[in-house]
Amino acid sequence: MLGLPDDVTVALFDMDGVLTTTAVLHQAAWKKAFDAFLTERGDTSGPFTDRDYLDYVDGRPRLDGVRSFLASRGITVDDEAAAAIGDAKNEEFLAALDRDGARAYPGSLRYLQAAREAGLRVAVVTSSKNGAKVLDAAGLAQFAQHRVDGNTIVAENLPGKPAPDSYLRGAQLMGVTPAQAAVFEDAISGVQAGVAGHFGYVVGVDRVGGGQADAMRAAGASIVVTDLADLLQS
């Protein structure tokens, strides 16, 4: 009924782009911050693109995203400069969140309600330090028994996605083995994390089209859907 293997008793949901419509706000905030940085530096490699977001930033903790994108352009900066780009991005993101708000995808809300009715237990595993704020704004905090977020990752010194550690921490908090948990992800780095952690099922949620579904399958996703409600029919 939930479209998952029978031995899966816990769902570990990524947040931005899986449960909430906020992935686009992150992407736009990153573009503003990186383009300002590149312009200021007189860099001629071109502006930050949609492809850059998907390949280097999507799903990763804030500073990992900064480092990963800059490395792709052959740019190295000190810790202070990296943090300043991350801070600028967060200011943009918080302003956009105030302006546009965070909404749950209707299909994701239906899936969470169905999960609750079926007794599937739920945690949220997000790289974002704004996890609590976004879940509250979207009215979804009530569904999650535990949350691993960007603050947990820093406090516990966990390697970020694509490493599996944040999801493994989520499974541990829920008291299950990875084989008993399903991972739900919209980022390639997150699918890779679910596969690396040997989770029982890895659901890729393709919100962008293009080659994303194929890339998720190549990364090892068990199934790719465009909306969580698609799983309710399977």
Ligand X SMILES: O=P(O)(O)OC[C@H]1O[C@@H](O)[C@H](O)[C@@H](O)[C@@H]1O
Pick one of 129, 146, 147, 169: the residue that binds ligand X (CB under 6 A). Answer: 129
The stretch among 40-48, 101-109, 125-133, 211-219 that binds ligand X (CB under 6 A) is: 125-133
Distances (CA, A) of 125 to 73, 81, 172: 29, 28, 12
Q: Which residue has the tokens 């699918």?
A: 191
Under DSSP, is residue 13 helix (H, G, I), strand (E, B) or coil? Answer: strand
Decide: is 59 part of the binding site for ligand X (CB under 6 A): yes
Write down the least CB distance from residue 1 to ligand X, Å.
28
170 binds ligand X (CB under 6 A): no
Alpha-carbon distance of 12 to 124, in angstroms, equals 6
Segment lying near ligand X (by CB under 6 A), choices 4-12, 52-60, 207-215, 221-229: 52-60
108 binds ligand X (CB under 6 A): no
- Answer yes or no whether residue 21 interacts with ligand X by CB under 6 A: no
Least distance CB 19 / ligand X (angstroms): 11
20 contacts ligand X (rule: CB under 6 A): no
Q: How far apart are CA 193 and CA 185, in angstroms?
A: 9
Q: Does 177 bind ligand X (CB under 6 A)?
A: no
Q: Does 126 interact with ligand X (rule: CB under 6 A)?
A: yes
Give every CB contact of residue 23 below 8 A, 6+ residues apart in sequence: 16, 17, 58, 186, 207
Contact between 150 and ligand X per CB under 6 A: yes
The yes or no reply on residue 221 touching ligand X (CB under 6 A) is no
Residue type, 66: V
Alpha helices in the chain (DSSP H): 23-41, 50-52, 62-72, 79-100, 106-118, 131-137, 150-155, 165-174, 188-196, 212-218, 229-233
**One residue of 10, 19, 26, 184 binding ligand X per CB under 6 A:** 26
> Which residue matches tokens 């079926």?
118
Catalytic residues: 14, 16
Q: Which residues bind ligand X (CB under 6 A)?
A: 16, 23, 26, 57-59, 61-62, 65, 90, 93, 126-130, 150, 187
